[in-house]
């Protein structure tokens, strides 16, 4: 049934009602699996991806010929060992990496979605992930795991589908964006909207892209995902003009990003992020006594996007409702992107947690 390490897709032909009551007709979701199911299907791990990631969670990325985005964490003999677990990465709806998104054809109107792609929220993503798992006859999940935006999806999974999983690992995330995060996202969004090549999101028909705006959005994002320590180490001892080196570096990051990413997808995702509000949404109340999920929350000391206090929003809500929760704030110089790093203590903590899980499945 599952061909290991292969990119696969599922076509959904039936109407799907989104959270805003809009109907999405006919769409494709891309996914990729690693490892093998055990006899009782109790070793399933769902990986939820962040803003610019995809289903290519590890090994060689078949399209771009590079390692998957969480290769440091997932592979043979790593924290998430594919000899022990069956791991699935799902490319979210609205993406530009294979699942139906704004750069794809609307099957009903026979033209590219563009800026008219349905507005989504995080509940829609979790709902469609659940639909895909149902299609694959994977009813129970041992662990749902995600960092950043992926962590927000993991939280939603643990609340909306608490009866389908046992463990939830949440890294560098929050349950409601801070004002600073919304400001970062709005600046990024407007840099795209003000690009003269945006054409109200319908730039595809002119065979151009709003790359200047998307590139600036990426520069700002890359700056906020890193840290003072990283940039100071990189540029402070430069033998050349520091201004030139910084400009060159950020132009490189921008160019690399716009080669593979779509501006409308970026807008969809930033809109989802800005509207995440698990604190005040009654659907997400942590009140069900049947929720016996064990949580591991991880934050990083240099993360300016989702620092420790953002995780306390999660902790305070869960403690009030007597949930089993483990929390650690890890010293790591890599900023928000620490969740993708090789930091020894971070990898060690996750490794220990999965060893405990493996003994219980």
Question: What residue numbers does the annotated binding site for substrate cover?
Answer: 218, 337
User: Which three-class secondary structure string do you get for 275-297?
Assistant: CCECCCCHHHCCCCCCCCCEEEE
54, 142, 148, 191: which one is catalytic?
148
Which residues does the annotation place in the binding site?
218, 337
Q: Tokens 């798992």 map to which residue?
A: 133
* Closest of 2, 79, 10 to residue 47, by C-alpha: 79
How far apart CA 166 and CA 36 sit, in angstroms, is: 19
Question: What is the per-residue DSSP string for 62-125?
Answer: TTTSSB-TTTTTBSTTSSB-TTT-EEEEEPPTT-SSSSS-TTSEETTTTEE-GGGSPP--HHHH
| Cβ atoms 153, 120 nearer than 8 A | no
How far apart CA 64 and CA 61 sit, in angstroms, is: 6
Residue 303 known to be catalytic? yes
How many Cα atoms within 13 Å fall on the side-chain side of residue 89?
A: 28
For 102-105, the CB contacts below 8 A with 24+ separation are 102/201, 102/262, 102/264, 102/265, 102/268, 103/204, 103/262, 103/264, 103/265, 104/28
Which phi-psi region, left, alpha or beta, contains residue 95 (left: φ > 0; alpha: ψ -120 to 50)?
A: beta
Query: Distances from the Cα of 250 to the Cαs of 186, 196, 238, 253, 339, in angstroms?
Result: 20, 21, 15, 5, 21
49, 303, 334, 338: which one is catalytic?
303
54, 262, 336, 338: which one is catalytic?
336
Query: Distances from the Cα of 208 to the Cαs of 61, 199, 213, 276, in angstroms?
Result: 26, 10, 13, 31
3-class secondary structure, 11: strand
Burial of 17-35, coded b for 16+ CB within 10 Å and e otherwise, reads: ebbeeeebeebbbbbbbbb
Residue 334 known to be catalytic? no
Residues designated catalytic: 148, 303, 336
């Amino acid at each position: 049934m599952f061909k290991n390490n292969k990119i696969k897709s599922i076509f959904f032909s039936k109407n799907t009602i989104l959270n805003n009551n809009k109907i999405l007709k006919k769409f494709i979701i891309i996914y990729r699996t690693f490892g093998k199911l055990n006899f009782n299907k109790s070793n399933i791990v769902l990986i939820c991806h962040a803003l610019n990631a995809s289903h290519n969670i590890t090994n060689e990325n078949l399209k771009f010929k590079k390692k998957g985005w969480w290769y440091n964490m997932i592979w043979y003999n790593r924290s998430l060992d594919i000899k022990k677990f069956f791991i699935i990465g799902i490319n979210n709806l609205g993406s530009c990496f294979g699942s139906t998104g704004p750069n794809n054809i609307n099957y009903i109107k026979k033209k590219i979605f563009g800026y008219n792609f349905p507005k989504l929220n995080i509940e829609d993503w979790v709902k469609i992930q659940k639909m895909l798992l149902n299609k694959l006859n994977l009813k129970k999940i041992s662990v749902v795991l995600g960092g950043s935006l992926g962590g927000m999806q993991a939280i939603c999974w643990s609340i909306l589908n608490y009866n389908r999983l046992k463990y939830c690992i949440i890294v560098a995330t929050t349950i409601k964006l801070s004002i600073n995060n919304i400001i970062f996202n709005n600046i990024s969004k407007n840099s795209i909207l003000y690009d003269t090549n945006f054409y109200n999101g319908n730039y595809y028909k002119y065979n151009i892209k709003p790359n200047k705006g998307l590139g600036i959005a990426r520069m700002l994002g890359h700056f906020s995902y890193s840290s003072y320590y990283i940039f100071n180490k990189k540029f402070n001892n430069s033998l050349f003009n520091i201004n030139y080196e910084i400009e060159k570096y950020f132009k490189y990051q921008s160019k690399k990003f716009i080669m593979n990413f779509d501006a409308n997808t970026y807008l969809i995702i930033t809109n989802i992020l800005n509207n995440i509000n698990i604190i005040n949404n009654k659907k997400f109340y942590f009140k069900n006594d049947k929720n016996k999920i064990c949580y591991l929350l991880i934050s990083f000391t240099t993360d300016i996007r989702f620092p420790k206090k953002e995780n306390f929003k999660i902790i305070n809500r869960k403690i009030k409702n007597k949930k089993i929760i483990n929390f650690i704030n890890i010293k790591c110089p890599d900023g928000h992107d620490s969740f993708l790093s090789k930091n020894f203590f971070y990898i060690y903590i996750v490794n220990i947690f999965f060893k405990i899980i493996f003994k219980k499945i």
